A and B are shown apart, each in its own frame.
Chain A
Amino acid sequence: MNTPFPFSAIVGQDQMKLAMILTAIDPGLGGVLVFGDRGTGKSTAVRALAALLPKITVVEGCPVNSQRPEDCPDWAHVASTKTTQRPTPVVDLPLGVTEDRVTGALDIERALTQGEKAFEPGLLARANRGYLYIDEVNLLEDHIVDLLLDVAQSGINTVEREGLSIRHPARFVLVGSGNPEEGELRPQLLDRFGLSVEVRSPDDISERVEVIRRRDAFERDTEKFLRKWQREDGKIRKAILAARDALATTRTPDAILTDCATLSVALGADGLRGELTLLRAARALAAYEGATAIDRDHLRRIAPIAMSHRLRRDPLDEAGSVARVERTVADTFG
């Protein structure tokens, strides 16, 4: 129906693109939060990334995208043992969604027409091994947020309702976008995103013109445009795959661990989650760039997107949290 815009053809927005690539390398990073103005290509980037990623192997007809037939949940009654290739799923979680749609619930249709008690999987099932995208995440209702937090934490969706007792894996990369003018995000949720990026409309006229030109070219002749960018997208895909393999062997010098801790203390970030994300994101970045070990430069570049949303608010500091992180990084690392 609709073809996603090629990831490599997105003009600028380097921080956002980098953050998304890192979560593709290490899904355990805990997702990306993209906050910024309307019409800056937030949704475009998410959909583009998923189209860029390698296909995943799934058992045919498995509602939770299991990789092997033995992983399929019993309740799904998957008959087939054949596997097939599918694009990485990106599931949209719209505002105003009901709990039933998210977690899954009793299959009303079958219950009413056939008198069977069956489970109808929800969005979390479909998002397993892929991405869950929430546009305007800051407007999401609290009870849905709570539910997501719980599942994102455990990687398992538990449904106990209407006489059903169902568990299924739900590991997904959470990508949220929003416009800060319309409301703040609850700190609990903010902290749960591994990385956060602030996107702004480019100030540079030529960059803005380029965005318009590419978008127009894409809409007017999609085929031709895709062909043109295919190779670039392929390069990124290859680099992501290579980085996934390299992740295990990328070394972490002790000095880097100390640096992470020092930086976290200097920034006054709550909890240890920040340090851990900082380290993992730096490792993913190092792997992506083909380095054998993490160095300070990786940390320096990753710190703003891994730490800026974990700072306590300082109402007197007008510079914003990214600037604060950069300042502290400069102070700490010299």
Chain B
Amino acid sequence: MTSPDWFRALTALTLLAIDPAGLKGLTIRARPGPARQTLEDELKILPLPLRRIHPGLSDTQLFGGLNVAASLAEGRMIRDAGLADTPSALVLPMAERTPPGLAARLAQLLDAQTGHALLLLDEGAEPEEAAPACLTERLAFHVDLSQVPHAEARPLLPAPADIDAARARLPNVTLRPDDAETLVALAARFGIASLRAPLLAQRAALALAALDARAETTDDDLRHAAELVYPARATMIPEQPDAPEPQPDETPDTQTDSHTTSDLTDIPDDLIVEAIAALLPPDLLTQLEKRARASRAAQGSGAGTKRTGNRRGRPLPSRPGRPDGRARIDIIATLRAAAPWQPLRREARPDGPRLIIHPADIRLRRYEDRSDRLVIFTVDASGSAAMARMAEAKGAIELMLAQAYAKRDQVALIAFRGEGAEILLSPTRSLVQAKRQLAGLPGGGGTPLASGLRAALDLTDLARTRGLSPALALLTDGRANIALDGTPGRATAASDAEAMARRLSHLGLSSVVIDTAARPGRDGTLLAGWLNAQYLALPRADARHLAAATDAALTG
């Protein structure tokens, strides 16, 4: 028996082979594996040349441009054709890593109706990690192969001759008058706002009819098309007219009308709704929540965490390389590289141009363009820590602050004591402010470690939305005795702290635990383990050494 996911994937590919220009493409979500490989091997059924591209694709490769090597050899301009020039099926692996610039250009290419189709191989592991929405939105189909067992992934596509015949029939297939309405109403019930979805579903229905050699679409075509196009786009589960009983209702039309109020629900065929609803991922609601969180995270920061830099960066020495339409050529460095060879080259080519430049001479400009680092200092100011090592901790932080300042890192300061945590200093570059806050840091009270970690977690989230790369320096003796809700108690405090620390560790930021206990050991190492952080014991009266070690730990 063939798994339904696999069957969907095969159908999607078949339809795409019939109408590649209209359906635009297919998103395949799966890690590389036998099932995906089998499907990739079948891509040859598409009536387009296959071109494998990658997320680092340059503009020159995509749209064509100067062929430097040939131009220099010939002494006149020679252009290379780009992938955009001839209709082809572009296969993009690691689609979840597509930078926004490339996504925008590919979207432009799809919109231009040049006959291209796009196959996104989305290898994202987390829900937040996915191919760019501006691309998946434009492609008709989305299939998920991650649950398809290898044994079931058998290539069962129609014969190429049948596909060719279907393609020839396609222009003569017509929709029935109500089809558009049915598809639009269906899309609305699943909360699909974009009008591209019903349009693509319509094309899919036509292709299905063409495959079966029918001149007109049928209800089955519509249902089938909707099942293929809608589930990945659904943002809500339609309200069921009756209780969500698993058994299918044989006479749906007699029941629906009595329950419906809005004009969205007078659907001719409730069976379609059920069929699509069955295909919705079971955790749609959780996914939606995560998606919403991801989009919120992107707010205010442009491309959000994906963006590598929020400053243009400082120039670095130029490097030999090939111009790709994005990098800038460093003319001076190029000339400098070519200069010593001129007499030699002129000897070899007496009739050549006055200046003979070889591709190997070309130097490209580089910039160090990366996001600012934010070091979040989270300091335990509780009684136990304060009494033992507070002064030394302060000294160490002060030194680290100075280092952070020199590297143009931003710093933030969180202190926890008594019943909770407090952000003493929001992310800043102001060293003076940071020092002042630190000097005035009072000590005493319980150790609400979990609250401190939670504050760090919130600040990390916030910092990421601003395009900063956060790092955490936690100074504590690790002996939590106040729980998240502010109540004393060692056991709950420890388990709360552990939970928070594990959540933080999932964020994958570099962190370091600096044990400030009088006798460093168990508690601190335990905490560092939860956090997946480096562990350092605060050495006696050697703040300078500690500062250097911390910096190394966070940078590494």
Contact = CB atoms under 8 A, between A and B. Distances in A.
Interface of A: 1-2, 37-41, 43, 92, 94-98, 100-101, 105-106, 108-115, 135-136, 138-143, 162, 181-184, 200-201, 205-206, 208-209, 211-213, 215-216, 219-220
A208 B195 contact: yes
A140 B100 CA distance: 9
Given A37-B194, A41-B195, A208-B198, A115 B329 contact: no
Given A39-B137, A105-B328, A183-B298, A113 B75 contact: yes
Nearest to A221: B171
Given A39-B196, A105-B328, A142-B302, 11 more contacts: A39-B194, A96-B99, A96-B104, A96-B326, A98-B328, A108-B66, A111-B331, A182-B298, A209-B184, A212-B180, A219-B22
Interface stretch (B108-116, B142-150, B519-527): B108-116
Given A39-B196, A39-B197, A208-B184, A113 B104 contact: no
Interface string B288-313: 00000001001111111001001010
A211 B198 CA distance: 10
Contact of B302 (A39, A183, A220): A183
Nearest to A204: B263
Interface string B103-133: 1110110011110000000000000000001
Given A96-B101, A113-B72, A139-B100, A212 B202 contact: yes
A205 B302 contact: no
B264 interface: yes
A182 B199 contact: no
B206 to A, nearest CB: 9
Contacts of A96: 99-102, 104-105, 326
B287 to A, nearest CB: 15
Interface in B191-217: 193-199, 202
Contact of A140 (B105, B188, B302): B302
A232 to B, nearest CB: 21
B81 to A, nearest CB: 15
Interface in B20-51: 22
B412 interface: no
B323 interface: yes
Contact of B101 (A41, A43, A97, A208): A97
Contact of A143 (B264, B312, B362): B312
Nearest to B104: A95
Interface in B473-524: none
A132 to B, nearest CB: 14
A184 B193 CA distance: 21
A113 B188 contact: no
A108 B264 CA distance: 58
Contacts of B72: 112-113
Nearest to B301: A183
Interface string B166-178: 0000010001000
B310 A2 contact: no
B52 interface: no
A115 B357 CA distance: 10
B184 A205 contact: yes
B180 A141 contact: no
A141 B134 contact: no
B195 A40 contact: yes
B354 interface: yes
B498 to A, nearest CB: 35
Contacts of B326: 96, 98
12 contacts: A2-B113, A38-B134, A40-B194, A95-B104, A96-B104, A101-B325, A112-B71, A114-B75, A183-B300, A201-B195, A209-B180, A216-B199
Contacts of A212: 180, 183-184, 195, 198-199, 202
Nearest to B66: A109
Nearest to A180: B299
Interface of B: 22, 66, 68, 71-72, 75-77, 99-105, 107-108, 111-114, 133-134, 137, 171, 175, 180-181, 183-185, 188, 193-199, 202, 263-264, 295, 298-304, 307, 310, 312, 323, 325-326, 328-329, 331, 334, 353-355, 357, 362
B352 to A, nearest CB: 11
Given A115-B353, A205-B181, A209-B181, A94 B105 contact: yes
A94 B202 contact: no
B219 to A, nearest CB: 17
Contact of A113 (B71, B99, B307, B328): B71
B323 A108 contact: yes
Contacts of A136: 100, 104, 134
B235 to A, nearest CB: 11
B327 to A, nearest CB: 8
A209 B199 CA distance: 10
A92 B326 CA distance: 17
A206 to B, nearest CB: 8
Nearest to B193: A201
Contacts of A184: 299-300
Contacts of A209: 180-181, 184
Contact of B193 (A37, A111, A115): A37
B100 A181 contact: no
Contacts of B77: 109-110, 113
A119 to B, nearest CB: 14
B104 A205 contact: no
Contact of A205 (B113, B137, B188, B325): B188
Nearest to B103: A95
Contacts of B312: 143
A182 to B, nearest CB: 5
Contacts of B196: 38-39
Given A94-B101, A108-B66, A205 B264 contact: yes
A216 B175 CA distance: 10
B229 to A, nearest CB: 13
Contacts of A208: 184, 188, 195, 198
A39 B193 contact: yes
B104 A39 contact: no
Contacts of A216: 175, 180, 199, 202
Contact of B331 (A2, A100, A106, A135): A106
Counting chain B CB atoms within 10 Å of each CB, the highest count among A94, A110, A200 belongs to A94
A4 B72 CA distance: 39
Contacts of A183: 298-304
